[in-house]
Amino acid sequence: MIKWFSLGFWELIARIVLRNRILMLSIIAAITVFLALQWKNIHFTFTEANMLPDDNIANVEYNAFLDKFGEEGNLIIIGVKDSTFFTPKAYAAWSKLMNTIKKNQEVDLVVSLNDLKKLQKNEALEKFELVPFVDESKTLDPKYMQTIKKELFNDLPFYEGLLFNKRSGSVRSAIYMDKKIVNTKARKTFVLEKLIPAITTFEKETKIDLRVSGMPYIRTLNAKTITDEISIFIGASLLITSLLFFFFFRSFKATLISIVIVVIGVMWSFGFLGLFNYEITILTALVPSLIIVIGIPNCIFLTNKYHQEFKVHRNKAKALQRVTTKIGMATLMTNLTTAIGFATFVASNNNLLLEFGVVTSINIMALFFLSLLLIPIFHSYLNPPKERHLKHLDRGSVKKFMDWILRTIKTNRISIYVASVALLVFSIIGIYEMRISGSLIEDMPKKEAFFQDIVFFEKEFDGVMPLEIMIDTKRKKGVMKLSTLKRMEELETAIEEIPELSKPISIVNLVKYSKQAYYNGNPDYYELPTSQEQAFILSYAKNATANSKENLMKSYVDSTGQYARITTFMRDENGDQIAKIEAEIRKKADKLFPKERYNVIITGKALVFQKGTGYLLDNLLSSLIFAFFLTALLIGFMFRSFKMILVSIIPNLLPLFLTAGLMGFLDIPLKPSTILVFGIAFGLSVDDTLRFLSQYREELKKNNWKIKKSVYATFNESGLSMFYTSIVLFFGFSVFMLSSFGGTIALGGLISLTLLFGMLSNLMLLPALVLTLNKTLANEQEFIEPKIDIIEHSDEEIDSLTTDKK
């Protein structure tokens, strides 16, 4: 026991692991089985991402709107633009399609041409009645169908922009799903198993192409694409990283060991998702692939060290022990900084990012322990490496590249600094060209049919992204006061003058339609009633669809009559202008609605998304500063030197600036997906810094605190591993460019570029800075560490480490 405590910490770990191999494997197997049992708790998200914290004012106002009017994202629209649509055959198929959809219990209401209702005055009952617009007995007559078309486009302005586009002749149906199931699995079942097959049948019968959109439809197909891509990412990342591993080491057994380790890591990642009851989102779907991409470099680093040690003394047991004792701390620190990079998302106060940060950080540390335990254990059961497995240590092309870098560091450091400053200036110029994107659909799969359908509705109906204005009259039944309706009409007129927005829809439209109906459907009377007309016309309107499922009023006035809703739509391409649009509406609303009598809220999915992007951007800097601070603490703990903290941060700042600059020049906007790049890339890039400085710390002690000798020895010792791991990370993250989501493509491509820049920066700028900023002879007091007596063991003692306890 005394002997054990006389060992260094990592020597103690190596002894425990190698002397208790069966026990360690049993513990890992038990954890794997436990986490595999948690897979049953995994479920996919049925809501879209919300980047704002729950207590943010934009979220509070949006939730207040939902409390009054329910889920706004329950509308599915089916559109058509075809000259043959108003023919008996096409109409019959359309009517059949709509009736099929209407029969589903998931559907609350269908507003379509075949069962379109128009208001008709009933003088005897003093109310408006909803009567069928189409006489089904005449639909086989082509002339009647043309009459219907003419009447729809010319005499029913209430439905313009809602069901038809008068200019282009396009027509659409509105399908309102049951709000209770919009965010449940039933939505997915309805869209994939009922709606899409019915639409496919119509298209086959008529040869007419239908366009489908709406948030329930988009979210369902988005989720399906995410699910399909998880297996693609896992397979591609495992294939590419494994091939690279084999290319480096030329060993099937070593490659198989690394595959086993990352597969266990992937199993654990799914297990932690189930254990924490987290949903599979567009971010957490990336975690298994991230585990593979980050796990293989761990295996490379440890396997490379094993080969280096074995080449020196040809003793397998000693080499396996020294893998842990020599680079255990360096591997811990590098994994810790990577975990910190992801953990910074926890500080965002956003559930989506918090879950992503938590599960990724935990799995990265779990991977560290898996690698540290399994690589020595598995290799202890195998034969020692053969000569061909060690050739990579002296591979010609890689060695020439590394020798060139070392010569540049020794003889021409000034060129490294000049190049770094030039790249920094280039980056700053590019940063000034960066823009922020407010687009909701920019990251969606552009090759998918549903994206083309979104573009169709954007063009034909002036957008699909809802912007909502909720007006609180501060008294019950205040909405139906003529003075309130006139104020709303004036606000709607102002909204129509904003070119980025569509024609608004509200209770005002229904009241205007009521007056038109009162005057026998004459479209010239589509206007608000006068003060003399209001008493009888508004009473007709209130009774029009009382207690009816088809009550058009209930979507735009709450049950108390205190709250009204104005809905307009915005083209996605105008997402960048949403702050300006909100300001214009706010200015007009404040003028029309005195605050002592009204409260006006501007909200909607598009606005919440744009504010979420801004919130993420505001938090990016603070998250990065937090990551820098934690990294500085780690470096300070290792070296007790402020200069070394600067040396560690500068080489990792430059790649971030370069990436930001390229985003500006290539017109890649800041959006939720690209904002995440910087925190993730910093956490991964700083790994190489920690590996280099950890090894440098060891070399200083071995070389009597001589700076130059220690830096060159560190480069020879760790440079190759840094190169290998960075190449694997580069190609590993490039896998995400196989995605059909623009955000995932940008995430993978930008992180890959940043890591490539980071590798070059850490291989060239980092050692150059160490040589420049330190004296010829390091001050031993700056590198104080606890004194530990290290006992050198005989080969017989080391061989006994691989003998399991009986």
Six-digit token pair at 523? 């479209």
Give the per-residue SS3 of 277-302: CCEECCCHHHHHHHHHHHHHHHHHHH
Q: Classify 56 as helix, strand or coil.
A: coil
The length of the chain, given as a count of residues: 806
pLDDT at 263: 92
Task: Report the DSSP pairing between strands 75-80 and 171-177.
Answer: antiparallel
Least confident range of 345-349, 361-365, 676-680: 345-349
Query: What's the confidence (pLDDT) of residue 802?
Result: 52
769 exposure class (CB count in 10 Å sphere: 0-12, 13-18, 19+): buried
- Token pair 């700056």 is at which residue? 782
Report DSSP letters for 376-405, one per residue: HHHHHHSPPPPHHHHGGGG-HHHHHHHHHH
Average pLDDT over residues 403-418: 89
Q: Is the pLDDT score of 421 beyond 90?
A: yes
Helix-helix angle 707-734:215-249, to 10 degrees? 130
CB atoms within 10 A of CB 776: 9
Torsion of CA 317, 320, 322, 325, to 10 degrees: -120
Q: Which residues, in sequence order, are bridge partners of residue 132? A: 117
pLDDT at 2: 38
CB 376 within 8 A of CB 324: yes
Confidence at residue 535, expressed as pLDDT on a 0 to 100 scale: 67
Tens of pLDDT, residue by residue over 350-394, are: 777 788 889 999 999 999 999 999 999 998 888 877 766 666 555
Quickly count helices (H) and strands (E) in the chain: 28, 11
Lowest-pLDDT choice from 316-325, 365-374, 530-539 = 530-539
* CA separation, residue 645 to residues 510, 651, 703, 760, 782 (Å): 67, 11, 22, 19, 12
Could you give the 3-state DSSP secondary structure of residue 107? strand
Whether the CB-CB separation of 269 and 365 falls below 8 Å is answered with no
pLDDT for position 645: 82
Within 10 angstroms of residue 312's Cβ, the number of other Cβ atoms is 11
Specify whether the backbone of 277 is left (phi greater than 0), alpha (psi in -120 to 50) or beta. Answer: left
Question: What confidence score (pLDDT) does residue 35 get?
Answer: 93
> Is 627 within 8 Å of 344 (Cβ atoms)?
yes
Q: What is the DSSP letter of 521?
A: T
- Give the CA count within 13 Å in the CB-facing half-sphere of 660: 23
DSSP H or E segment with residue 79: strand 75-80
Between helices 642-665 and 672-702, what is the axis angle to 10°?
A: 150
Burial 68-80 (b: 16+ CB within 10 A, else e): bbebbbbbbbbbb
What is the rounded (10 degree) CA torsion for 408, 770, 330, 645?
A: -140
Distance from C-alpha of 627 to C-alpha of 344, rounded to nearest angstrom: 7
pTM listed for this prediction: 0.73
Measured CA to CA, the distance from residue 586 to residue 660 in angstroms comes to 34
The SS3 call for residue 22 is helix
pLDDT in tens, 658-675: 999 988 898 888 877 787
Share of the chain above pLDDT 90, in %: 19
The residue ranking higher by pLDDT, 774 or 90, is 90
Nearest-angstrom CA–CA distance, 352 and 375: 34
Return the H-helix or E-strand segment holding 470. Answer: strand 465-472
**Is pLDDT at 149 greater than 80 in this prediction?**
yes
For residue 438, is pLDDT > 70? no
pLDDT at position 129, please? 72
Does the pLDDT of residue 3 top 50, yes or no?
no
Between 449 and 759, the more confident residue is 759
Q: What are 585-640's pLDDT values in tens digits?
A: 999 999 999 999 999 999 987 788 778 777 777 776 777 777 778 778 877 777 77
Partners of 569 in beta bridges: 466
The DSSP result for 173-186, as a single string, is EEEEE-GGGTTSHH
- Encoding tokens for residue 145? 């169908």
Q: What is the pLDDT of residues 746-800, one digit of tens each?
A: 888 888 989 889 889 999 999 988 888 765 434 444 444 444 444 444 445 445 5
Which DSSP letter does residue 604 get? Answer: -
> 155 and 524 in contact (C-beta within 8 Å)?
no
For 442, other C-beta atoms within 10 Å of its C-beta total 17
Distance, in Å, from the CA atom of 768 to the CA atom of 762, rounded to the nearest integer, reads 9
Distance between CA atoms of residues 515 and 702, nearest Å: 94
**How far is CA 154 from its chain centroid?**
45
SS3 label, residue 469: strand
Average pLDDT, rounded, for the chain = 81
Q: How far is CA 806 from the centre of its chain?
A: 51
Strand 43-44 to 279-280 pairing: parallel
Structure tokens at 658: 């370069």
Residue 575 confidence (pLDDT): 64
Distance separating alpha carbons of residues 285 and 586, to the nearest angstrom: 39
pLDDT score for 805: 45
- Confidence check: pLDDT of 181 > 50: yes
Q: What SS3 state is found at 135? A: coil
- Predicted pLDDT of residue 418: 93
The answer on pLDDT for 650 being more than 80 is yes
Give Cα 222 to chain centroid, integer Å.
12
pLDDT, residue 804, reads: 47
Nearest-angstrom CA–CA distance, 675 and 686: 18
Q: Averaging pLDDT over each range in 304-308, 382-386, 536-540, 647-651, which range is the top one? A: 647-651
What φ, ψ does residue 660 adopt, rounded to 5°? -60, -40
- Lowest average pLDDT, out of 66-70, 343-347, 408-412, goes to 343-347
Mean pLDDT of 716-723: 81
Q: Please report where in the chains the tokens 């540390």 appear, as a residue.
A: 365
Residue 46 reports pLDDT greater than 90 = no
| Residue 777 confidence (pLDDT) | 39
Q: What are phi and psi of 128, to 5 degrees?
A: -90, 145
Predicted confidence band at 736 (pLDDT cuts at 50, 70, 90)? confident
Nearest to 628 by CA among 695, 556, 679, 693: 679
Say if CB 268 and CB 287 are below 8 A apart: no
CB-based contact 338:733 (threshold 8 Å):
no
Per-residue pLDDT for 199 more than 80?
Answer: yes
The answer to whether 417 and 180 are in contact (CB under 8 A) is: no
Can you name the residues that pair with 118 across neighbouring β-strands? 131
Q: Which tokens in the block code for residue 787?
A: 């004194």
